[in-house]
Protein backbone atom coordinates (compact mmCIF):
# COMPACT_ATOMS: atom_id res chain seq x y z
CA UNK A 1 0.00 0.00 0.00
CA UNK A 2 2.82 2.42 0.87
CA UNK A 3 4.61 1.69 -2.43
CA UNK A 4 1.33 2.27 -4.38
CA UNK A 5 0.74 5.60 -2.59
CA UNK A 6 4.25 6.77 -3.38
CA UNK A 7 3.67 6.07 -7.07
CA UNK A 8 0.40 8.06 -7.17
CA UNK A 9 0.49 10.84 -9.79
CA UNK A 10 0.84 14.34 -8.39
CA UNK A 11 -1.29 17.10 -10.04
CA UNK A 12 -0.98 20.91 -10.03
CA UNK A 13 0.63 23.85 -11.84
CA UNK A 14 4.29 23.97 -12.62
CA UNK A 15 6.17 27.23 -12.04
CA UNK A 16 6.39 27.85 -15.79
CA UNK A 17 2.63 27.35 -16.25
CA UNK A 18 1.88 29.71 -13.38
CA UNK A 19 4.19 32.42 -14.75
CA UNK A 20 2.65 32.08 -18.22
CA UNK A 21 -0.87 32.48 -16.76
CA UNK A 22 0.16 35.62 -14.87
CA UNK A 23 1.66 37.13 -18.03
CA UNK A 24 -1.53 36.45 -20.02
CA UNK A 25 -3.68 38.00 -17.27
CA UNK A 26 -1.44 41.08 -17.13
CA UNK A 27 -1.78 41.58 -20.89
CA UNK A 28 -5.56 41.19 -20.79
CA UNK A 29 -5.88 43.63 -17.90
CA UNK A 30 -3.62 46.12 -19.66
CA UNK A 31 -5.95 46.07 -22.66
CA UNK A 32 -9.27 45.78 -20.87
CA UNK A 33 -8.97 48.25 -17.97
CA UNK A 34 -8.45 51.41 -20.09
CA UNK A 35 -11.30 50.40 -22.42
CA UNK A 36 -13.61 49.74 -19.48
CA UNK A 37 -12.70 53.10 -17.93
CA UNK A 38 -13.56 54.90 -21.17
CA UNK A 39 -16.78 52.90 -21.41
CA UNK A 40 -17.84 54.11 -17.96
CA UNK A 41 -16.94 57.74 -18.72
CA UNK A 42 -18.73 57.64 -22.07
CA UNK A 43 -21.80 56.19 -20.39
CA UNK A 44 -21.85 59.03 -17.84
CA UNK A 45 -21.50 61.68 -20.54
CA UNK A 46 -24.19 60.11 -22.71
CA UNK A 47 -26.52 59.81 -19.74
CA UNK A 48 -26.09 63.50 -18.82
CA UNK A 49 -26.77 64.72 -22.37
CA UNK A 50 -29.70 62.37 -22.89
CA UNK A 51 -31.26 63.32 -19.55
CA UNK A 52 -31.25 66.99 -20.52
CA UNK A 53 -32.51 66.22 -24.02
CA UNK A 54 -35.36 64.11 -22.63
CA UNK A 55 -36.39 66.79 -20.15
CA UNK A 56 -36.36 69.52 -22.81
CA UNK A 57 -38.62 67.34 -24.93
CA UNK A 58 -40.80 66.71 -21.88
CA UNK A 59 -41.17 70.43 -21.19
CA UNK A 60 -42.04 71.13 -24.80
CA UNK A 61 -44.59 68.31 -25.09
CA UNK A 62 -46.22 69.17 -21.77
CA UNK A 63 -46.60 72.81 -22.83
CA UNK A 64 -48.41 71.73 -25.99
CA UNK A 65 -50.53 69.13 -24.19
CA UNK A 66 -51.52 71.31 -21.22
CA UNK A 67 -51.86 74.49 -23.29
CA UNK A 68 -49.87 76.47 -20.72
CA UNK A 69 -46.22 77.57 -20.47
CA UNK A 70 -43.84 74.91 -19.14
CA UNK A 71 -40.31 75.85 -18.08
CA UNK A 72 -37.01 73.99 -17.71
CA UNK A 73 -34.54 75.93 -15.58
CA UNK A 74 -31.26 75.44 -13.78
CA UNK A 75 -31.78 74.83 -10.06
CA UNK A 76 -29.75 74.19 -6.93
CA UNK A 77 -32.52 72.94 -4.64
CA UNK A 78 -34.83 71.01 -6.97
CA UNK A 79 -37.83 73.16 -6.10
CA UNK A 80 -37.08 76.57 -7.60
CA UNK A 81 -35.05 78.32 -10.29
CA UNK A 82 -32.69 79.43 -7.55
CA UNK A 83 -29.50 79.38 -9.60
CA UNK A 84 -29.15 82.82 -11.16
CA UNK A 85 -25.54 82.61 -12.33
CA UNK A 86 -24.25 81.47 -15.71
CA UNK A 87 -20.85 80.77 -14.17
CA UNK A 88 -22.02 77.79 -12.09
CA UNK A 89 -22.14 74.32 -13.70
CA UNK A 90 -25.41 73.09 -15.21
CA UNK A 91 -25.67 70.09 -12.87
CA UNK A 92 -29.29 70.18 -11.80
CA UNK A 93 -32.50 71.39 -13.39
CA UNK A 94 -36.26 71.20 -12.95
CA UNK A 95 -39.25 71.12 -15.29
CA UNK A 96 -42.39 72.81 -13.98
CA UNK A 97 -45.81 74.01 -15.11
CA UNK A 98 -45.33 77.77 -15.29
CA UNK A 99 -48.96 78.57 -14.49
CA UNK A 100 -50.51 78.24 -11.04
CA UNK A 101 -54.05 77.91 -12.39
CA UNK A 102 -54.24 76.75 -16.00
CA UNK A 103 -58.04 76.92 -15.96
CA UNK A 104 -58.04 80.62 -15.13
CA UNK A 105 -57.26 83.52 -17.40
CA UNK A 106 -53.58 84.32 -17.90
CA UNK A 107 -51.92 86.40 -15.18
CA UNK A 108 -48.67 88.30 -14.97
CA UNK A 109 -47.03 85.31 -13.27
CA UNK A 110 -47.78 82.88 -16.09
CA UNK A 111 -44.70 81.90 -18.05
CA UNK A 112 -42.33 84.14 -16.13
CA UNK A 113 -39.69 81.44 -15.62
CA UNK A 114 -40.01 81.36 -11.82
CA UNK A 115 -41.73 78.76 -9.65
CA UNK A 116 -44.73 80.47 -8.06
CA UNK A 117 -47.04 79.17 -5.32
CA UNK A 118 -49.30 76.50 -6.78
CA UNK A 119 -47.12 75.71 -9.78
CA UNK A 120 -46.26 72.02 -10.16
CA UNK A 121 -42.70 70.73 -10.52
CA UNK A 122 -42.89 67.86 -13.00
CA UNK A 123 -39.27 66.70 -12.94
CA UNK A 124 -36.10 67.21 -10.91
CA UNK A 125 -32.92 65.90 -12.56
CA UNK A 126 -29.29 65.86 -11.43
CA UNK A 127 -26.28 64.63 -13.41
CA UNK A 128 -23.37 62.56 -12.13
CA UNK A 129 -20.88 64.35 -9.90
CA UNK A 130 -18.16 62.51 -11.82
CA UNK A 131 -18.60 65.00 -14.68
CA UNK A 132 -16.36 67.89 -13.53
CA UNK A 133 -17.44 70.49 -16.09
CA UNK A 134 -20.86 71.30 -17.52
CA UNK A 135 -20.79 74.76 -19.05
CA UNK A 136 -23.90 76.52 -20.28
CA UNK A 137 -25.21 79.53 -22.14
CA UNK A 138 -28.38 80.69 -20.43
CA UNK A 139 -30.35 79.30 -17.51
CA UNK A 140 -33.86 78.42 -18.65
CA UNK A 141 -36.20 77.57 -21.51
CA UNK A 142 -39.84 78.67 -21.32
CA UNK A 143 -41.97 76.70 -23.77
CA UNK A 144 -45.24 78.21 -24.93
CA UNK A 145 -48.37 76.17 -25.80
CA UNK A 146 -47.29 76.44 -29.43
CA UNK A 147 -44.16 74.42 -28.64
CA UNK A 148 -41.91 77.40 -29.39
CA UNK A 149 -39.64 78.83 -26.69
CA UNK A 150 -39.89 82.37 -25.39
CA UNK A 151 -37.22 84.56 -26.95
CA UNK A 152 -35.03 85.53 -24.00
CA UNK A 153 -31.63 87.00 -24.88
CA UNK A 154 -30.68 87.42 -21.21
CA UNK A 155 -31.67 84.12 -19.59
CA UNK A 156 -32.66 81.91 -22.50
CA UNK A 157 -30.91 78.53 -22.59
CA UNK A 158 -29.48 77.85 -26.03
CA UNK A 159 -26.47 75.59 -25.40
CA UNK A 160 -25.20 73.26 -22.68
CA UNK A 161 -21.79 71.61 -23.02
CA UNK A 162 -20.91 68.57 -20.92
CA UNK A 163 -17.16 67.87 -20.58
CA UNK A 164 -14.92 65.64 -18.48
CA UNK A 165 -11.14 65.43 -18.08
CA UNK A 166 -10.75 64.31 -21.72
CA UNK A 167 -12.04 67.63 -23.03
CA UNK A 168 -12.80 67.45 -26.75
CA UNK A 169 -10.45 64.53 -27.43
CA UNK A 170 -11.57 62.12 -30.13
CA UNK A 171 -12.77 58.76 -28.79
CA UNK A 172 -13.75 55.47 -30.42
CA UNK A 173 -16.02 56.09 -33.37
CA UNK A 174 -14.25 59.30 -34.38
CA UNK A 175 -16.36 61.65 -32.26
CA UNK A 176 -15.40 63.92 -29.39
CA UNK A 177 -15.74 62.87 -25.77
CA UNK A 178 -17.73 66.04 -25.01
CA UNK A 179 -21.50 66.29 -25.50
CA UNK A 180 -23.28 69.45 -26.53
CA UNK A 181 -27.03 70.00 -26.22
CA UNK A 182 -28.41 72.84 -28.35
CA UNK A 183 -31.91 74.34 -28.33
CA UNK A 184 -32.95 75.87 -31.65
CA UNK A 185 -35.15 78.94 -32.15
CA UNK A 186 -38.08 76.58 -32.79
CA UNK A 187 -37.52 74.79 -29.48
CA UNK A 188 -36.13 71.58 -30.90
CA UNK A 189 -33.23 70.17 -28.87
CA UNK A 190 -30.40 68.07 -30.32
CA UNK A 191 -27.21 66.44 -29.02
CA UNK A 192 -23.93 66.98 -30.86
CA UNK A 193 -20.56 65.21 -30.64
CA UNK A 194 -19.05 66.92 -33.66
CA UNK A 195 -15.59 68.16 -32.65
CA UNK A 196 -15.63 71.18 -34.98
CA UNK A 197 -19.01 72.33 -33.72
CA UNK A 198 -18.13 71.68 -30.07
CA UNK A 199 -14.95 73.77 -30.35
CA UNK A 200 -16.48 76.57 -32.46
CA UNK A 201 -17.22 79.88 -30.71
CA UNK A 202 -20.69 80.45 -29.30
CA UNK A 203 -20.99 83.51 -31.52
CA UNK A 204 -20.65 81.24 -34.52
CA UNK A 205 -23.30 78.83 -33.32
CA UNK A 206 -20.85 76.48 -31.62
CA UNK A 207 -20.37 75.53 -27.97
CA UNK A 208 -17.12 77.37 -27.24
CA UNK A 209 -15.06 74.28 -26.40
CA UNK A 210 -14.28 72.69 -23.04
CA UNK A 211 -12.48 74.88 -20.46
pLDDT digits (tens, 9 = 90+) for 58-117: 999 999 999 999 999 999 899 999 766 666 778 899 999 999 887 776 656 688 999 999
Domains and CATH numbers, the chain: 17-204 (3.55.40.10)
> In whole angstroms, what is the distance from residue 111 CA to residue 195 CA?
35
Strands (DSSP E) found in the chain: 70-74, 92-97, 121-126, 133-137, 140-143, 159-163, 179-183, 189-192
Which class for 47: exposed (0-12), middle (13-18), buried (19 or more C-beta within 10 A)?
Answer: middle
Task: Name the pLDDT band for 11 (thresholds 50, 70, 90).
Answer: low
Are the beta carbons of 211 and 133 closer than 8 angstroms?
A: yes
Are the beta carbons of 70 and 143 closer than 8 angstroms?
A: yes
pLDDT digits (tens, 9 = 90+) for 146-181: 999 999 887 888 999 999 989 999 987 789 999 999
pLDDT digits (tens, 9 = 90+) for 32-53: 556 668 888 888 999 999 999 9
Amino acid sequence: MLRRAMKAKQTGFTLIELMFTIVVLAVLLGIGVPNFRDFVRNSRMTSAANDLLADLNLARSEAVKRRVPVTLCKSTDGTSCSDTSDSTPFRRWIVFVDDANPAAASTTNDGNGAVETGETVLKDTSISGAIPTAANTGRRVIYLPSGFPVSDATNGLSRVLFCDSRGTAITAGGQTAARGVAVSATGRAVVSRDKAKIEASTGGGGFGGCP
